[in-house]
Amino acid sequence: MERNEADVTTAIAPQPAALTAGDRCDRCGARAYLRVELTSGGELLFCAHHAREHGDKLRSIASHVHDETHKLEPTPAGVRDSND
Protein backbone atom coordinates (compact mmCIF):
# COMPACT_ATOMS: atom_id res chain seq x y z
CA MET A 1 0.00 0.00 0.00
CA GLU A 2 1.34 3.42 -0.98
CA ARG A 3 1.07 6.32 1.49
CA ASN A 4 0.48 9.86 0.31
CA GLU A 5 1.82 12.09 3.08
CA ALA A 6 3.60 15.40 3.03
CA ASP A 7 7.16 15.59 4.28
CA VAL A 8 7.26 17.44 7.58
CA THR A 9 10.30 19.19 8.94
CA THR A 10 11.01 20.17 12.51
CA ALA A 11 13.43 22.91 11.52
CA ILE A 12 13.46 25.96 13.77
CA ALA A 13 13.52 29.47 12.37
CA PRO A 14 17.04 30.88 12.50
CA GLN A 15 17.80 33.10 15.47
CA PRO A 16 19.44 36.47 14.88
CA ALA A 17 23.14 36.55 15.62
CA ALA A 18 24.05 37.84 19.05
CA LEU A 19 25.23 41.43 19.18
CA THR A 20 28.96 41.80 19.86
CA ALA A 21 31.21 44.54 21.17
CA GLY A 22 31.90 45.38 17.52
CA ASP A 23 28.24 46.31 16.92
CA ARG A 24 27.89 50.06 17.46
CA CYS A 25 24.92 52.37 17.98
CA ASP A 26 23.89 54.20 14.81
CA ARG A 27 23.22 57.36 16.85
CA CYS A 28 26.29 57.73 19.08
CA GLY A 29 28.75 54.90 18.40
CA ALA A 30 28.41 53.23 21.83
CA ARG A 31 28.06 49.45 22.06
CA ALA A 32 24.73 48.32 20.57
CA TYR A 33 22.27 46.26 22.61
CA LEU A 34 19.24 46.54 20.30
CA ARG A 35 18.93 45.48 16.65
CA VAL A 36 15.84 46.67 14.79
CA GLU A 37 14.98 45.02 11.49
CA LEU A 38 12.81 47.50 9.59
CA THR A 39 9.69 46.51 7.66
CA SER A 40 11.07 48.59 4.77
CA GLY A 41 14.30 46.57 4.80
CA GLY A 42 17.63 47.11 6.49
CA GLU A 43 18.44 47.30 10.15
CA LEU A 44 19.38 49.82 12.81
CA LEU A 45 21.53 49.30 15.89
CA PHE A 46 21.10 51.21 19.15
CA CYS A 47 22.79 51.46 22.54
CA ALA A 48 20.57 50.96 25.58
CA HIS A 49 20.17 54.73 26.06
CA HIS A 50 18.91 55.39 22.54
CA ALA A 51 16.86 52.16 22.59
CA ARG A 52 14.96 53.53 25.60
CA GLU A 53 14.68 56.99 24.05
CA HIS A 54 13.30 55.78 20.70
CA GLY A 55 11.97 52.32 21.62
CA ASP A 56 8.24 52.91 21.08
CA LYS A 57 8.74 54.49 17.65
CA LEU A 58 11.26 51.83 16.63
CA ARG A 59 8.90 48.99 17.52
CA SER A 60 6.15 50.59 15.43
CA ILE A 61 8.31 50.45 12.27
CA ALA A 62 10.09 47.16 12.97
CA SER A 63 9.50 43.73 11.53
CA HIS A 64 11.68 42.26 14.30
CA VAL A 65 13.45 43.61 17.38
CA HIS A 66 16.41 41.78 18.91
CA ASP A 67 16.89 43.21 22.43
CA GLU A 68 19.93 42.35 24.53
CA THR A 69 19.62 45.15 27.10
CA HIS A 70 19.13 42.45 29.75
CA LYS A 71 22.90 41.87 29.51
CA LEU A 72 23.58 45.22 31.15
CA GLU A 73 24.20 45.33 34.86
CA PRO A 74 22.61 48.05 36.97
CA THR A 75 24.88 50.88 38.05
CA PRO A 76 25.75 50.51 41.76
CA ALA A 77 24.28 53.18 44.02
CA GLY A 78 26.56 56.14 44.50
CA VAL A 79 28.45 55.64 41.23
CA ARG A 80 28.10 58.58 38.88
CA ASP A 81 28.07 58.39 35.11
CA SER A 82 31.12 60.04 33.53
CA ASN A 83 28.70 62.15 31.44
CA ASP A 84 27.21 63.79 34.57
Return the pLDDT at 83: 46
- End-to-end, the C-alpha distance of the chain in Å comes to 77
Return the pLDDT at 4: 66
Return the pLDDT at 52: 93
Return the pLDDT at 55: 85
Residues 41-53: pLDDT tens digits? 999 999 999 999 9
Dihedral-angle region of residue 19 (phi above 0 means left; psi in -120 to 50 means alpha; beta otherwise): beta
Return the pLDDT at 84: 43
The pLDDT profile of the chain, 84 residues, written as one tens digit per residue, is 666 666 666 666 667 789 999 999 999 999 999 999 999 999 999 999 999 999 889 889 999 999 999 998 876 766 555 544
